[in-house]
Amino acid sequence: MRINTPPFFLSLIVLLCACKHDIINNSTLTNADPTIIVTPPINGGSNSTPGVSDTVCFNTDVLPLYVSYCGSSGCHDVNSHRSGVILTDYTHIMNGIRAKQSSNSNYYTIIGNGMPPRTSPQLTAANIATLKKWIDQGALNTQCTNVCDTTVFTYAGAVQNIIANNCGGCHGSKPGSANVYLGDYASAKSYITANTTLFNNAINWTSTSAAMNMPQSGKMVACKITQIQKWIKAGYPQ
Ligand code: HEC
């Protein structure tokens, strides 16, 4: 275990304080495993806010940003590991993160200060704030499920963010990896309209070749895939 890992019980207390509404599945917790399962309840679907939880979810909020903006092939994926840095899984990301000390976390402070390279897509201020909040909350390996309201599936209400966070580092600036650019409404709509089956296979991880499953580092949580599929079926509502 890393030296900067807070004692397990402390992490749990912090998490409980941060999100008293969360249902934490205790049976999955052991000292050896920093993974914490959080299942925020849906807030009734009254608006586009997915759940009442204030917990930043590593699997759905943090990892996709590192993978998409830093972990592309040729950069910080497992195969390329430029400068020895891998940013496609929790353990490797924690090599440059100190829980509750964002200003001492290299893999946080470098963002916008040299990385990603100037010519690559950049994280937004909101993305960076999410990373900081995750570090402030203890940089836990929170694995959240049930994090979306699948009754919300407009572009502005859901799909824009899903694509930006999960695909943006590779397909968010032109021409985009494999010449697939999904960085705005019109481009995403026209690409998906012309390549619906290929696109659906990519996000559902049912492509004929594993390299075509997207994101390549891991399938998105089911409810986000559902939101995108509903958006396509409904004719791409704005
Ligand atoms: C880390 C970079 C990266 C991320 C993140 C990423 N892609 Fe890709 N994408 C690629 C690369 C590289 C290819 C070319 C793959 C190949 O054909 O070998 C590709 C290809 C594709 C293709 C075309 C399939 C093909 O190979 O013809 C689609 C569609 C696609 N991506 C959609 C997405 C979507 C949707 C997301 C987000 C949910 C996403 N990608 C996330 C890098 C990425």
Q: Quick one: pLDDT at residue 30?
A: 32
Ranges in the chain, pLDDT < 70: 1-53, 146
Q: Quick one: pLDDT at residue 26?
A: 33
Residue having the nearest C-alpha atom to atom 36 of ligand 1: 167
Q: Quick one: pLDDT at residue 35?
A: 59
Q: Quick one: pLDDT at residue 40?
A: 53
Q: Quick one: pLDDT at residue 45?
A: 36
Give 75 Cα–ligand 1 centroid separation in angstroms: 15
The C-alpha atoms of residue 59 and residue 147 are separated, in whole angstroms, by 11
Q: Quick one: pLDDT at residue 145?
A: 77
Which residue has tokens 């092939």? Answer: 73
Q: Quick one: pLDDT at residue 95?
A: 94
Residues contacting residue 152 through CB under 8 Å, at least 6 positions apart? 45, 48, 50, 158, 227
Q: Quick one: pLDDT at residue 106?
A: 95
Q: How many angstroms separate the Cα of 148 from the Cα of each of 10, 32, 172, 191?
A: 28, 29, 22, 24
Tokens of 107: 């893999």
Give 26 Cα–ligand 1 centroid separation in angstroms: 36
Residue-wise pLDDT tens digits, 77-130: 888 888 889 999 999 999 999 999 999 999 999 999 989 988 888 999 999 999
Which residue has tokens 């836990």? Answer: 140
Pick the atom of ligand 1 nearest to 71's CA. 1
